[in-house]
Structure 1
Amino acid sequence: MKTDLRGKDLITTQEWSKAELESVLDVADQLKAEFAADQWAHHDALTGYSLFELFYNTSTRTRNSFEAGINQLGGYPHIMSPDQLQLEHGESAKETAKVLSRYGHALAVRVLGGAVDFEYPRGTEIIRDYQEGADIPVYNMQCDTYHPCQTLADLQTVRERKGSIEDINFTISYAYAPEVRRPVSVPHSSILGFTKMGANVTLAHPEDIELDPEIVEQAEENADKANVDFTVEHDMERGFRDADIVYPKHWVSYKVGERGTEAEKEIHDQNQDWICDEEMLSNANDDANYMHCLPAKRGFEATDAVMDGPQSVIYDQAENRMHAQKGLMLLTMGGRGYGSGR
């Protein structure tokens, strides 16, 4: 286990080693076991610590999992939106981060999609501005390129269900939805995180709904380093074959900003057959699990029979958002040296 993570930012899992990520997952498992047993051995681990949460976009799981998590560790969440700060009066992200660093112990930011007019990768650039100014850990609660906290929870869920991440067959697939709004951050972080952790990863999507080629190249490099497979398919059925995990979700191309939403929607509407129903799920292994980060467009991305069926682990994923983030906060806000360097 890596025990020297205090002060480390999480913008993308690419900036963490496999051993560092495993350390977060190990602590998350311990905290989840304590939560299940109603034992609170770490309820005061971050007493007196403040987590600043800045939301440019609305949230259900991200906001509440971070808020509940920091409370369970004894800390306090400060929930903010840009209109409540001086950002609209010309104060920069860098200056804001410097000020908040004087008040508390970590800063988490969520900015993507409509908040930046789908100008990829503007949300990521904004988070990097906060990171540049901060003297405390900065957590990416989702930008238009990455969603690392979701990937932490997904890794924890797969490890629980399959016993190991290494050498499993993991498929992240596009699925149709009528709205043009979901960014590429989840599939990006999925292919990066799971290849880094040693899974065989298949990315399935229609040809015109692609991911950022730089991110795909990084996933290929991760796979080469881990000696596992990384495959791109343009057929959903082929992408599901022999999969231990299937993760079909909607996303829009990283090119949506330059294409425009109407042109993007025309492309998506040609792929309405990209849906995970029971027949599609049957192409995966018999004991395969269905995953989705939520929210999902039921009846479009997946059917009720799949989402509520015995192979679904979507609510385990949602719960693990809290436990994985608790592990992250405990190690990076507190961590080694707790009690001596506050």
Structure 2
Amino acid sequence: MANINFDAILADLKKLEFSNMYMNDFLLTWEKSVDELKATFAVADALRNLRERNISTKIFDSGLGISLFRDNSTRTRFSFASACNLLGLEVQDLDEGKSQIAHGETVKETANMISFMADVIGIRDDMYIGKGNTYMRNVSSYVREGKKDGNLEQIPTLVNLQCDIDHPTQAMADALHLVHEFGGIENLKGKKIAMTWAYSPSYGKPLSVPQGIIGLMTRFGMDVVLAHPKGYEVMPEVEAVAAANAKASGGSFKKVNTMAEAFEDADIVYPKSWAPFAAMEKRTDLYGKGDFDGIKALEKELLAQNANHKDWECTEELMAKTKNGKALYMHCLPADITGESCKEGEVAKSVFDRYRVPLYKEAGFKPYIIAAMMFLAKVKDPVATLKALEAQGKDRLFNAF
């Protein structure tokens, strides 16, 4: 990244209109303008450029970044912590089991109590349809109310670390990876990306990754193909967003029911398991009723349904169908790797091993994307602030020699 011209990044950033990001949250990518998405990419690149030149990017002297993960996480959890640290915030994890939430504390009260010195709140709530994104918007509303009432000195920015609808930090990191792989955002236009379902021996993977990909990549004039077996549909409203985005950008969006058709002449492939939308709705309803026997029965049913589609695996034969047999393989990780992490899974071991380094690079964009989302929400003049950080030239790592 250090070889990217820092001044050129700032010159491009200066041309964009992104003032609405200041003092605002980042919840869904399709709520942001294309300029705002480009600004996020630019700031992420600028922050990475400074860090790789050993220049401190801390804009906070103190303050907290609150993390609330209602689902397990490795990459996103550590990416959020890294992003907070990069900007000078200390991370405090909210463990609901150790809080008064377990004793009936309301969302409104929790939002205010954790926000006295918080500048950012990152939430991952992806398991239940109709719940996660709604919860995030409620928290955002309550902290703004707290500021208005004089309870809070500042409004914490809320960053969606994955919800039931979208995974914006993942999709944006994936997109920035593509920007670098293809030499610029303008070069994504006309590229074919296959977002396909793939077999997994586990049940209940969220819909937000495939939805995030089709909702974002259609913004850049890409030809986006969504492939899955019948019965594994995603949210229809997100499909509608993807179709509208494609029409506006000059790209395309279509659905197919075979992996082979999706892979044909694809520039990028993204094989990833997810649970059917209808099943996720049913699970949400069962949890709401406390019907744990029903949940166990649903899980058994879905595992059996998955087993009917073990041929949905990213193999060498399928990769050979892609553009010149050399499509970029992507995954949000961890992947179900056949013969390594499981007996039968999403991707053949030989394919995964060949793309392991690019996959790790893909994941490496996420801390900078999250930091950029925070930066743009907290800094009124990002160009001037980035210039000042460079001019200040404070060593991130002090070395006397």
Give the TM-score, by structure 2 length.
0.79
Q: Given the alignment of the two structures, is residue 134 of structure 1 paired with residue 174 of structure 2, yes or no?
A: no
Which range moved further: 310-319 or 139-148? Answer: 310-319
For 2:130, the aligned partner's letter is P
Match 2:103 to one of 89, 101, 109: 89
In our comparison, the structure showing a higher alpha carbon Rg is: 2
| One of 2, 23, 36 as aligned partner of 1:7 | 23
Match of 1:39 among 50, 54, 73: 54
Corresponding residue of 1:70? 84
Cross-structure match for 1:169: 192
- The reply on whether 1:208 has 2:231 as its aligned counterpart is yes
Match of 2:257 in 1: 234
Q: Give, in whole Å, the separation in 2 of the partners of 1:298 and 1:310.
A: 12
Aligned length: 332
Residue number among 348, 353, 375 corresponding to 1:303 in the alignment: 348
**1:290 aligned to which of 329, 334, 351:** 329
Match of 2:293 in 1: none
- Please name the residue that 2:290 is paired with: none
1:100-119 pair list within 5 angstroms: 100-113=114-127, 119=128
2:239 maps to 1:224: no
Identity of aligned residues (%): 30
Q: For the residues of structure 1 that align with 2:362 and 2:107, how far apart are their CA atoms?
A: 31
User: Which runs of 5 or more structure 2 residues have no equivalent in the other structure?
Assistant: 1-15, 145-155, 284-297, 339-344, 386-401
Does the 8 Å CA contact 2:225/2:256 hold for their aligned counterparts?
Answer: yes
Q: CA RMSD in A?
A: 1.9
Q: Amino acid of the residue matched to residue 215 of structure 2?
A: L
State the partner residue of 1:278: 316
Q: Residue deviations 1:204-223, cap 9 Å, x none?
A: 11111110111101111111
Give CA-to-partner distance per residue, 1:155-176, whole Å, 9 cap, x none. 1000010123322211111000
Q: Which of 375, 383, 391 in structure 2 is aligned with 1:330?
A: 375
Q: Which sits farther off after the overlay, 330-339 or 145-154?
A: 330-339
Structure 1 CA distance, aligned partners of 2:330 and 2:97? 35
CA deviation profile, 1:176-229 (whole Å, cap 9, x unmatched): 001102110000111001112322111111111110111101111111111211
Q: Tell me the secondary structure at the aligned position of residue 142 of structure 1.
A: strand
In the alignment, structure 1 residue 252 sits paired with structure 2 residue 292? no
Q: How does 1:151-162 map to 2 (within 5 A)?
A: 151-162=171-182
Name the TM-score, length of structure 1 as normaliser.
0.92
Q: Which moved more, 1:89-98 or 1:291-300?
A: 89-98
Contact 1:62 1:141 in 2 (8 A): yes
Q: Which amino acid aligns with 1:39?
A: N
Conserved? CA contact 1:289–1:311, under 8 Å: no
Taking the aligned partners of 2:64 and 2:356, their CA distance within structure 1 comes to 38
**Higher mean C-alpha displacement, 277-286 vs 3-12:** 3-12
The residue type paired with residue 121 of structure 2 is L
Q: Which amino acid aligns with 1:40?
A: I
By how many angstroms is 1:267 displaced?
A: 1.9
Q: In the alignment, does 2:135 pair up with 1:121?
A: no
How far off is 1:311 after superposition?
Answer: 8.3
Which one of 354, 362, 378 corresponds to residue 317 of structure 1? 362
User: Shift of the alpha carbon at 1:57?
Assistant: 1.7
Helix, strand or coil for the counterpart of 1:134? helix
Residues 1:60 and 1:310: Cα distance change in structure 2 (over 3 Å): closer
* C-alpha contact 1:120 1:255 (8 A) present in aligned 2: no
CA distance in 2 between counterparts of 1:293 and 1:83 reads 28
Question: Taking structure 1 as reference, are residues 86 and 78 closer, same or farther at Cα in structure 2, changes over 3 Å only?
Answer: same
The aligned residue for residue 69 of structure 2 is 55
Between the aligned partners of 1:322 and 1:182, the Cα distance in structure 2 is 23
Q: Is the 8 A contact 2:204 2:274 kept in 1?
A: yes
Higher mean Cα deviation, 180-189 or 253-262?
253-262
Do 1:6 and 1:335's aligned partners in 2 also have CA atoms closer than 8 Å?
A: yes
* 4+ aligned runs moved over 3 Å, structure 1: none
Asked if the contact 2:220/2:251 (under 8 Å) is kept, the reply is no
Structure with higher helix content: 2
- Greater shift after overlay, 123-132 or 204-213? 123-132
User: 2:159, 2:373 within 8 Å by CA — same for their partners in 1?
Assistant: no
Residue number among 10, 15, 25 corresponding to 2:41 in the alignment: 25
In 2, distance between residues paired with 1:81 and 1:296? 27
Would the aligned equivalents of 2:126 and 2:208 in 1 still touch at CA under 8 Å?
no
Partner-residue secondary structure (3-state), 1:105: strand
Counterpart amino acid of 1:289?
L
**Structure 1: gaps of 5 or more residues:** 114-118
Task: Report deviation, 1:134.
Answer: 2.4
Aligned residue number for residue 116 of structure 1: none
